[in-house]
Amino acid sequence: MRILITNDDGIHARGIQVLAKEMAKKHEVLIVAPREQKSASSHSISIHEPIRVREEKLDALACKAYSVVGTPADCTQIGVSLLGKNIDLVLSGINRGLNCGTDILYSGTVSAAIEGAIYNIPSIAVSMEVDWEKEDETYEKAARWTSKIIDCAYHTHLRKNVVLNLNIPHINEDAIKGLKVCRLGKSTYQTEYVLVEEKDDKVYTVKGTRNKIEEEDSDLYYLSQGYVTLTPLHFDFTDFKLLDEVEKHFNNNN
C-alpha cells in the first residue's frame, strides 16, 4: 500500500518519524509535512503566498520526504497531486497531544486527514496524549496501534470519504484497557487572558483549563478511563436530523 504521511507538528517532529518507520515495515511511504510547527492551523490553505517545497533527508528513514512552507492541508494536497502517485491512504500524525472532542475543529492534524478524505482517499488522524511539562514521550505505542487499526480496517472500514480519528492515552501500553469506537465529546475550557504588555496594543497570553468531562459515552471520557478511542469523521457538517424541519419552516413562511 502507498501511504502519504503528514502532520502539523513539522517534519522533524518525533511522532511523524516514528510513524513513518513503523509504516515502512509493510508499506511504501511518502512523507510530506510542514517545515515548521503548524499546530492549531485547522483547515487553512495557502492562497496568497507561493508554496515552497524541499526534499529532506531524515535520519534512519529511507523513504522520500519533503518539507513544505505551508499548512497541513497544503501538505496533503501537494502529496496527493504533485509528489505522490495513486496514494492508497493518508496518515496524519502522530500528533503531540490529543485531538478529541470538538478540539478537532482547531486541529491541523485532523484537517490534513480530512483533506485526503475530500479527495476520496481513506485517511486516519493519529494523536497521543502527553505530559506537557516534559519532552520525554515515546511514540512507538501509538505507531503500533495505528498499524493494528490499518490491518484490521483497511479492507472493510477504511472508506474513501471518511476519516478515522485515533487517540492514544498517556499511560503505559500494557495498562491500556482496549479500544472504544465512540462519538466525539464536547471540549470546553476555562480560559484566562493574562495581560503582559500595554502600549499601543494590549498583549495577552492565553491559558486554558479543560472543564469537567460530563458525557460518559464520548472519546473524552473513554480516554480518561484508559482506552484508545476511534471516531469516524466526515467533512459534511450538514445536520441531517434538522434538515427537513428547517426546510418545512422556511417553506411555510415564504
Half-sphere exposure of 198 (CA within 13 A, CB side): 2
Find the angle CA(15)-CA(165)-CA(65) to the nearest 5 degrees. 35
Distance CA 147, CA 160 (A): 18
Q: Are 210 and 100 in contact (CB under 8 A)?
A: no
User: Which parts of the chain have pLDDT scores under 70?
Assistant: 157
pTM: 0.94
The pLDDT, as a whole number, for residue 145 is 98
The pLDDT, as a whole number, for residue 74 is 98
User: 2-186+213-252 has which CATH code?
Assistant: 3.40.1210.10
The pLDDT, as a whole number, for residue 163 is 96
Instruction: Kindly give the pairing relationship between strand 89-96 and strand 123-128.
Output: parallel
**The C-alpha cell of 26 is what?**
509493510
The pLDDT, as a whole number, for residue 84 is 96
The pLDDT, as a whole number, for residue 109 is 98
Cα dihedral sign for 136, 43, 217, 209?
A: positive
Distance CA 60, CA 49 (A): 33
The pLDDT, as a whole number, for residue 181 is 97
Share of the chain above pLDDT 90, in %: 85
The pLDDT, as a whole number, for residue 209 is 87
Q: Are 99 and 107 in contact (CB under 8 A)?
A: yes
The pLDDT, as a whole number, for residue 156 is 72
- Give the chain's length: 254
Task: Tell me, rounded to whole angstroms, the distance of Cα 88 from its chain centroid.
Answer: 18
